[in-house]
Amino acid sequence: MMTMTLELVETAAFIDGLWIESETTFEVLNPADGTVITRVADLGASETRVAIEAAHRAFPAWAARTAKARGAILRKWSDLMLVHSEALARLMTAEQGKPLAESRGEVAYGAAFIDWFADEAKRAYGHAIPSPMPGKRLVSIKQPVGVCAAIAPWNFPIAMITRKVGPALASGCTVVVKPAAETPLCALAIARLAVEAGVPAGVLNIVTGKDSSAIGKALCDDARVRKLSFTGSTPVGKTLYAQCAGTMKKLSLELGGNAPFIVFDDADLEAAVDGAIASKYRNTGQTCVCANRLLVQSGIHDAFVARLTEKVAAMKVGPGTGEGVTIGPLINAKAMRKVGDLVNEAILAGAYATTGGGDDPYDPERFFSPTVLINVTPEMRLFQEEIFGPVAPVVKFETEQDAIDLANATPFGLASYFYSRDVGRCWRVAEAIEAGMVGINEGLISTVVAPFGGVKDSGLGREGSSEGLNEYLETKYLCFGGVGA
Ligand code: SIN
């Protein structure tokens, strides 16, 4: 075990203000070398119900505080994350694998959700509604939903938790978090900082465990949980959606994507290449908003591919702690197999790797070479499925309408991107693409202040921004009668 070199390591779950040990534990592995970082408490459905009970008990007192009072505690929590940024970033790189510079960026991104919602909840305004009837006065108010469940993924071990917990706690809800089994350490570390900041017992609970289905089902089945927010795959999201029907929960589902990245002939070539790299290779290709299909118009295709290949070939592969590394390991062996299979199938069907194309010599068991594939066609599986690896498939197209048709030829609709210098085209294409988010001449679009989320099979609801706060609030309409004229 390697706990000595890392700070803020907690191995117990956190329920009702207490650190809960368990006789059974599971391993947390470093994806860069397969070593065991530590072992963490392995809880299940019954402990999840204990956490829900704690959150339910804590709710009335937390909701009764003013938004300003809650915000003061949350701001302190966000500050503590920044004070401990380096320790959190090293923990993140150890359990998730991303390059240290990206981990530092994620700590700042994660803390920003807490800080921003701490202020935004002060503006959870209702409405005074002009009454159409004499003698009546109508208003609507906003109230916290109640106990919330947050099921988080491994690819952003802090930010995908704070994006849910920030608005929940700021609006007066209490939360039970289930972090991914691959990355529980960041969740537990920020819980420790939450205690230091003054978050009361029961307001934030972290249930660690390997059996995600049992914990997820316990959260869905319990009527005391009034809202569930999940980030992860579309099949799991659909299961949770169905399981929540019985208790009619409010839902936010941030699911899979298949982002098109369109480069028109009139694009700024260098900007488009840099945007494609930023979007595609962030977190070693393991984000829901990564460019999944590069659609490139015939007039610029060869120049774009040449420049992209040159830059991708120069990327440095290695452990996230290595100097200058931009491509880390994939999360596990299953991910390596999936990416390898998608690439091999495409090559067998006629695609060609201008760089990369397989397991990386740095460590072929855990690292996949940053890859550019040309001659890709829509029939290939990697055009249709989320790759979640450092592979950029390029498809050539002729007309604007072809690009829109190709972009929309998917059940997913999370992020999308395109590069063009024609203002009219920018409006037309942005409106025609079926996606929740569009980057126009920009490859990095995520920010706490903008609504993040998808359409079609990419999910429901929005996170971040005032829309993200609203997901944790109920609107209550009050009708005052007998007021007089
Ligand atoms: C995700 O991959 O789900 C989130 C990425 C982001 O917030 O940019």
State the sign of the Cα–Cα–Cα–Cα dihedral 60, 460, 154, 113: negative
Is residue 148 among the annotated active site residues? no
CA of 156 to the centre of ligand 1 (A): 7
CA of 50 to the centre of ligand 1 (A): 30
From 147, 183, 151, select the one nearest 26 (Cα to Cα): 183
Contact residues of ligand 1, CB 6 A cut-off: 155-156, 231, 254, 287-289, 446
Sites in the chain below the pLDDT cut of 70: 1-4
**Token pair of 1, please?**
């075990």
Query: What is the per-residue pLDDT for 2?
Result: 47
Q: How many residues does the chain have?
A: 485
CA dist., res. 58 & res. 205, Å (int): 11
CA of 298 to the centre of ligand 1 (A): 31
Query: What is the per-residue pLDDT for 304?
Result: 98
Query: What is the per-residue pLDDT for 4?
Result: 47
**Token pair of 97, please?**
């694998």
Return the CATH number of the domain spanning residue range 259-450: 3.40.309.10
Query: What is the per-residue pLDDT for 5?
Result: 85
Q: What are phi and psi of 49, to 5 degrees?
A: -65, -35
- Write out pLDDT tens, residues 24-40: 999 999 999 999 999 99
Query: What is the per-residue pLDDT for 473?
Result: 98
Which atom in ligand 1 lies closest to the alpha carbon of residue 287?
2
Query: What is the per-residue pLDDT for 485?
Result: 73
CA dist., res. 146 & res. 472, Å (int): 8
Give the residue extent of every domain in the chain.
Answer: 13-255+458-477, 259-450
From 206, 245, 205, 247, select the one nearest 224 (Cα to Cα): 247
- In testing the pocket of ligand 1, which one of 287, 331, 437 has its CB within 8 Å of the most ligand atoms? 287
CA dist., res. 97 & res. 29, Å (int): 10
Orientation angle between helical segments 100-120 and 67-83, nearest 10 degrees: 170
Catalytic pick from 148, 173, 220, 288? Answer: 288
Orientation angle between helical segments 184-197 and 85-96, nearest 10 degrees: 160
Give CA angle at 232 (229, 233), nearest 5°: 130
**Token pair of 48, please?**
């999840």
CA dist., res. 382 & res. 380, Å (int): 6
Pick the CATH number of 13-255+458-477 from 3.40.605.10, 3.30.450.20, 3.40.50.970, 3.30.750.210: 3.40.605.10
Residue with CA at minimum distance from ligand 1 atom 5: 287
Sequential DSSP letters for 335-382: HHHHHHHHHHHHHHTT-EEEE--SB-TT-TTT-B--EEEES--TTSHH
- In testing the pocket of ligand 1, which one of 289, 292, 388, 462 has its CB within 8 Å of the most ligand atoms? 289
Is residue 173 among the annotated active site residues? no
